[in-house]
Homo-oligomer: A and B are copies of this chain.
Amino acid sequence: MEKLVVGIDIGGTNTNYGIFDKEGNCFVKNSFSTNEQDTFEFFLEKLYQEIEKSKKEIEDKYNIIGIGIGAPNGNYYSGTIEFAPNLNWKGVLHITKLLKKYYDIPIILTNDANAAANGEMIYGGAINMKNFIVITLGTGLGSGIVVNGNIVFGHNGFAGEIGHTIVDINGRICNCGKKGCLETYASATGIKRTVLELINTNNTPSILRDKKSNNISAIDIEIAAKNGDKIALEAFEYTGKILGLKLSDTIAHTNPEAIFLHGGLSKAGDLIFKPTKKWMEYYLLSIYKNKVKLLPSQIENSNAAILGAASLIWSELDKSINQN
């Protein structure tokens, strides 16, 4: 029987999953609302039922051999989701242990950006790279760091939280409780906050003034910028400046070959890439200048998170083969 794996991406809004073969072909995928269940146990029961339903859609000549999970604050070592601010269930959630009741196969957890980085390494633009970083620009800013061909998990399993490095100690309040974190500037919500700040502090006309604050989205800002809206253009420039500055700090840590931008805001193309690259180069130490590529993810975005999660299982299997 052909071997397949399940890739699951647990997000603050939706939980997506898919079933993939080793080449990354998607056999079935589905999505359901994450926070509808009262308890985490009910959520897992729902997840199990959904996966079973999907399994029926594919012929019974396939064998599911593992489950990879990407989740906010997912800890690779302990298999727990710990204090994820965007999930309804608080504290430490023992997801791999609890899921073992349903599936007695290898289950691997890590955070969503690490999963994306693994996917990029196996199926995307980092296939021949040993040292690179994936930055996910969604509601927040996630990061997965790869060194010598391996995801960096760190001593406690929580490496790669570049979104919470500090831009300004007196800066914007972050969901994490700190002030001035990078993700309060460089993310879909960060650019929206920048637009609101610009609207409040100057008189430049802007189509975005016609919208309620709550209703402005990163897509609105992108469309406005493409139509020449000055506030929107300035917001992209500012976002790129802050992101470029902090990426120059990141490069001074692990000296990657490339940084991949991933997720909603990265879809704005040149609007975000150009200023980020310009300011990154400006702030880089001379030994790094013009040596680090800034690239869009090469994985189709709608599948990136679940494919990345699935890839964790294939990587682990390859590792154990190499060790034996």
What is A's interface to B at a CB cutoff of 8 Å? 73, 82-83, 129-132, 145, 147-148, 150, 152-162, 164-166, 169, 176-178, 245, 248-250, 252-257, 283, 285-288, 291-292
Contacts and interface: CB of A to CB of B under 8 A. Distances in A.
B158 A131 contact: no
A52 to B, nearest CB: 33
Contacts of A155: 129-132, 255-257, 291-292
B254 A154 contact: yes
A162 to B, nearest CB: 6
Majority SS at the chain A contact face: loop
A254 B152 CA distance: 7
Contacts of A156: 255, 287-288, 291
Contacts of A283: 166, 169, 178
Contact of A147 (B147, B166, B255, B286): B147
A154 B245 contact: no
19 contacts: A82-B287, A83-B287, A129-B155, A131-B154, A132-B155, A145-B254, A147-B152, A147-B154, A152-B255, A155-B257, A155-B291, A157-B255, A158-B287, A159-B254, A161-B252, A162-B253, A164-B252, A166-B245, A166-B283
Most B C-beta atoms less than 10 A away, residue of A145, A178, A285, A291: A285
A39 to B, nearest CB: 23
- Which 3 residue pairs are nearest across A and B when measured between Cβ atoms? A154-B255, A155-B257, A159-B255
Given A83-B286, A130-B155, A245 B169 contact: yes
A315 B11 CA distance: 43
A249 B73 contact: no
A283 B177 CA distance: 10
A162 B254 CA distance: 10
Contact of A158 (B147, B176, B288): B288
A150 B152 contact: no
A223 B16 CA distance: 61
A152 B146 CA distance: 11
Contacts of A147: 147-148, 152, 154
Contacts of A252: 160-162, 164-165
A289 to B, nearest CB: 11
A191 B290 CA distance: 32
Given A131-B154, A166-B245, A287 B256 contact: no
A285 B161 CA distance: 9
Nearest to A75: B287
A154 B146 CA distance: 10
A78 to B, nearest CB: 12
A160 B255 CA distance: 8
A118 to B, nearest CB: 15
A285 B164 contact: yes
A235 B254 CA distance: 30
A171 to B, nearest CB: 12
Contacts of A158: 255, 287-288
